[in-house]
Amino acid sequence: MSAFSKFFLTSISLLFVLFSSCLDAERSDSNAPAGLLVGDAQRLIPWPSSVELRGGAPWVFDLRQIQAELDLSDEADDRWGAEGYQLEIDSAGAHITAATKAGLFYGRTTLRQLRPTLCEGDPGCPNGYALPALIIEDAPSFSHRGLLLDCCRHFMSVDFVKHTIDALALHKMNVLHWHLTEDQGWRVEIDAYPDLTLVGSQRINPDGTPHGGYYTKSQIREIVAYAAERHIEVIPEIELPGHSRAALAAYPWLSCTGDTLPVANRWGVFKDIYCAGNDSTLAFLRAVLDEVVELFPSTRVHIGGDEAPKVRWEACPKCNARIAEEGLHDAHDLQRWFIEQMGEHLATHGRTIVGWDDILEGGLPRGATVQSWRGMAGAEQGVALGADVVVSPTSHCYLDYPLRSTDLEEVYSFDPAPPALQGGPGHVLGGECNMWSEHAPEHLVDSKVYPRAIGLAEVLWSGRAHTARTGAYDEFLARLDGHYPRLDALGVNYGLETVPVALTLAPASATEGSGLAATVSAAMRQISGEVSWRTSGGETSLGPLDTPFTVQGLGELQVQLTHRGKPASEQESFFVAAHLGAFSDLVLDYEPSQHYTAGGLQALVDGRRGSLDFRDGAWQAVQGEPMIATIDLGSAQPLERLSARFYHYQDAWIFTPSQIHWSTSLDGNSWTSASNWISPAMLAPDSVQDIRSHSSDDMGGRLARYVKMEAVNAGPCPDWHAAAGQASWLFCDEIVVE
Ligand code: ACM
Ligand code: ZN
């Protein structure tokens, strides 16, 4: 609720008052409080399109057509706040009042949302259109409403960054948190250290392809100015002390070991970080920050601070000397000291720092704002210590996560300032959604960001008083329906709201014959699709969603999805094994990890196989244990082959088994070996992420009722591994009996 609602409740006449959300336009139509709507709210207000737009930028209104007034009175700040506004539309036109230019901008943005979508593009506004007569008084609940854009894992063009700024502005977001330095790429030109971009902006991907790019100072100034015109502050993130491999590749003397390392081309957390004992490293970072603050006028600079392993510091004579000289407790305290050095330097430029919640590990660095990402615990700790906090927990705000982890409804349900964060002495400035780009090159980013970021925009602008109401989400969806065409007009390649389709599998009935009965059904609004079945023998069309069919053998159900009449940006597929053992009884001698059950204790015979994404819900896993599983086929059957697939991804501590033993039985008591496979050795380091299949020997029709798989865990991660000595994971998707 806006702070100044009381002001207008006395003066309703032919107008209605409502409280704006980030999507005002449709809200005014669909959610006008009926009791307040008097007379004819829809009036035709003719505005010639020829003067409607200026310079082809549809979001910059020509103020000749709208009266906009800065309230310069003494009470103005109290009345409107830093970003609030009043928008009044009647037959005389539109009138916006605010205490600040930002407020006027948000008033114009609301007006923009009220105008026809046609006004967004060519040929522009029609020569007269209806607008509701209304008064909106509006102000945001949170002052920090942001999106993190990671342009390091994948470089993104200047045009794309501007496109993102445009979309943020449409949704009244006011912060672009621009992630500019990482292990996998340094993206900001620094005159004093040219190798940061010459060397550090380029990498060779594991498949041999080069990837790189950086922003020149002039491009950065252009982007910062473009954002400022839209009342968006660009906060640069210069990661330290960790996530710094690209800088170390350019200048190896910045690290503890001085080793020459390439720009990282794998994802994850790396041991080599800036040396905190080396004065030259500190001087380097101060010089970098001097150039950064010259480019970015933001009051805060994000210094990262997350995921900085301390192994190098603990072994480094210089870092240990620093700990001793400064009277620090340990490496965590050294991190606090290190970040404070940066904070003190930035303070000489009149700036403060923001850091990920990891910066609390050695105690809150003086003056730091804390960005909570590992849940809300960091925010709670920060608030208790008197810090400002920004919230972006993985539970609700990570837009690189798939929809099955975080869908639109989940984002919309986010509470940025629950009671635990309201007791002070610090407070919540607002939140961000985080778009990390490990798995999202530029062309996929929109489909991950929208519509979920629009949900978060509404949470941050309108606050829980609005979004937690009964029915609020359905209202939001109804307004979103009217908003999608505007996104289309602006070239926003939005994705889906939730997991779009669901697969059900069951044993085929007697009339259906052998195989599995399957249905792929729609699980989202405005979705349709065509299903096909692809096997090594070819592809068969199975018809539209919700059509039941029967499949035989091993293959992939592919779904070509259509969302709102257009091909969806991502297609769905399911890997299915219609085999002899599917839906038989299964007994496990282990308890699957609760994070990777694949759906339950029968998951290894449910007909679903996994994809290359080991989090897709079809993989079952255990850590540090073997997988021993026994299938009861119900009656003796002639068998040709037994097989299972295992996931391989060393970076995620997932190893294929060291041994697999297959055996069969007629009675469940006496067992006959079918084959035994032994891994040659613990595999050498690689960054491969793939699926490895293991089969028994040809069984030549051997009769058996029971089948047993014993897959031996590979053991602790080997010495060469980043997690040497830790228990490794074993992942299996299905035991296939043929
Ligand atoms: C983060 O996601 N490492 C902040
Ligand atoms: Zn060191």
Residue 398 CA, closest ligand 1 atom number: 2
Nearest ligand 1 atom to the CA of 304 is: 4
Question: What's the CATH class of domain 3-138?
Answer: alpha beta
**Ligand 1 mean position, distance from CA 512 (Å):** 50
> Which residues sit opposite 623 in a β-bridge?
729
- Token pair 């600040």 is found at 100
Tokens at 67, concatenated: 């009266």
pLDDT band per the 50, 70, 90 thresholds, residue 509: confident
Ligand 1 atom closest to the CA of 394, numbered from 1: 2
pLDDT confidence of residue 34: 24
Nearest atom in ligand 1 to 436's CA = 2
Predicted TM-score (pTM) of this structure:
0.88
For 688-708, write each residue's pLDDT tens digit. 889 999 999 999 999 999 999
Mean pLDDT of the 151-158 span:
98
CATH architecture, domain 499-578 = Sandwich (2.60)
Regarding the beta carbon of 307 and ligand 1, being less than 6 Å apart is answered yes
Number of other residues whose CB lies within 10 A of the CB of residue 233: 18
Ligand 1 contact, 29 CB (< 6 A): no
pLDDT band at 243 (very low <50, low <70, confident <90, very high): very high
CA of 182 to the centre of ligand 2 (A): 19
Protein residue with its CA nearest to atom 2 in ligand 1: 373
User: How would you write 116-168 as a 3-class SS string?
Assistant: CHHHHCCCCCCCCEEEECEEEEECCCCCEEEEEEECCCCCCCHHHHHHHHHHH
- 9 pLDDT band, cuts 50/70/90, is very low
SS (HEC) of 176-241: EEEECEECCEECECCCCCCHHHHCCCEEECCCCCEEECCECHHHHHHHHHHHHHCCCEEEEEEEEC
- pLDDT of 27 > 80? The answer is no
Which is the closest atom of ligand 1 to the Cα of 356?
Answer: 4
Separation of 200 CA from ligand 2 center, angstroms?
Answer: 20
Distance 630 CA to ligand 1 centre (A): 41
| Ligand 1 centroid from CA 466, angstroms | 29
CA distance 167 to 447: 13
User: Does residue 306 line the site of ligand 1, with CB under 6 A?
Assistant: yes
Indicate the CATH number of 144-489 among 3.40.50.720, 1.10.287.3510, 1.10.3720.10, 3.20.20.80.
3.20.20.80
- Give 256-279 pLDDT, tens digit per residue: 999 999 999 988 899 999 999 999
DSSP label at 398? B
Which atom in ligand 1 lies closest to the alpha carbon of residue 307?
3
| Contact (Cβ atoms closer than 8 angstroms) between residue 381 and residue 429 | no
**Among the bound ligands, the one closest to the CA of 371:** 1
Atom of ligand 1 at shortest range from CA of 373: 4
Task: Mean pLDDT check: name the lowest of 134-143, 351-360, 527-536, 599-608.
Answer: 134-143
Q: Which strand (E) or helix (H) includes residue 482?
A: helix 472-489
Distance 337 CA to ligand 2 centre (A): 13
Q: Is residue 356 within 6 Å of ligand 1 at its C-beta?
A: yes
* pLDDT tens-digit readout, 123-149: 777 666 677 777 889 999 999 999 999
Q: What pLDDT score does 73 carry?
A: 86
Residue of 32 and 266 predicted with greater confidence: 266
The 3-state DSSP class for residue 337 equals helix
Q: Which ligand is nearest to the CA of 256?
A: 2
Q: Which ligand is nearest to the CA of 334?
A: 2
- DSSP secondary structure letter of residue 366: T
Q: Enumerate the domain spans of the chain.
A: 3-138, 144-489, 499-578, 581-738
The residue type at 265: N
- pLDDT category at 546 given cuts 50, 70, 90 is very high
Find the ligand nearest to 280 CA.
2
Band (pLDDT 50/70/90 cuts) for residue 42 is: very low
Average of per-residue pLDDT across 541-555:
94
Of all ligands present, the nearest one to the C-alpha of 399 is 1
For the Cβ of 530 lying below 6 angstroms from any atom of ligand 1, the answer is: no
Residue 284 tokens read as: 């380097």
Domains 3-138 and 144-489 share a fold: no
Ligand 1 nearest atom to the CA of residue 371, by list position? 4
Q: Token pair for residue 107?
A: 């008033």
Distance 109 CA to ligand 2 centre (A): 50
Helix 158-170 crosses helix 217-229 at what angle (to 10 degrees)? 10
Give tens-digit pLDDT for 275-291.
999 999 999 999 999 99
Phi, psi of 341 (to 5 degrees): -60, -45
Q: Candidates 270, 354, 356: which one to mutate for ligand 1, based on the most atoms within 8 Å of Cβ?
A: 356
Tell me the CA–centroid distance for residue 352 and ligand 1, in Å.
20
CATH of domain 581-738: 2.60.120.1190
Spatial contact of 372 and 379, defined as CB atoms under 8 Å apart = yes
Ligand 1, atom 3: closest residue by C-alpha: 306
pLDDT-derived band at 721, boundaries 50, 70, 90 = confident
Does residue 401's CB lie within 6 angstroms of at least one atom of ligand 1? Answer: no
* Cα 316 to ligand 2 centre (Å): 5
Report the distance separating Cα 74 and Cα 85, nearest Å. 16
| CA distances in angstroms from 724 to 151, 308, 577, listed in the order given | 31, 18, 35
DSSP state of 276: S
Residue 306 Cα to ligand 1 midpoint, Å, equals: 6
Q: Which ligand is nearest to the CA of 304?
A: 1
In terms of C-beta density within 10 A (0-12 exposed, 13-18 middle, 19 or more buried), how is residue 702 classed? middle
CA of residue 373 to ligand 1 center, whole Å = 6
| Position 254 confidence tier, pLDDT thresholds 50, 70, 90 | very high
Residue 91 pLDDT grade (very low, low, confident, very high; cuts 50, 70, 90): low
Confidence at 32, pLDDT banded by 50, 70, 90: very low
Q: Calculate mean pLDDT across residues 510-526.
A: 88
Write the pLDDT tens digit of every residue in 594-637.
999 999 999 999 999 999 999 999 999 999 999 999 999 999 99
Between the alpha carbon of residue 649 and those of residues 235, 424, 476, 566, the distances in Å are: 35, 44, 40, 35
Closest ligand to residue 257's CA: 2
Q: Give Cα separations from 560 to 43, 301, 525, 564, 630 (angstroms).
A: 43, 44, 16, 13, 37
Amino acid at 252: P
As given in the structure block, the two tokens for residue 158 are 């200047």
Index of the ligand 1 atom closest to the CA of residue 243: 3
pLDDT higher than 90, residue 41: no
Ligand 2 centre distance from Cα of residue 318 (Å): 5
At residue 17, the pLDDT reads 30
For residue 441 the two structure tokens come to 């090159």
For ligand 1, what atom is nearest to the CA of residue 358? Answer: 4
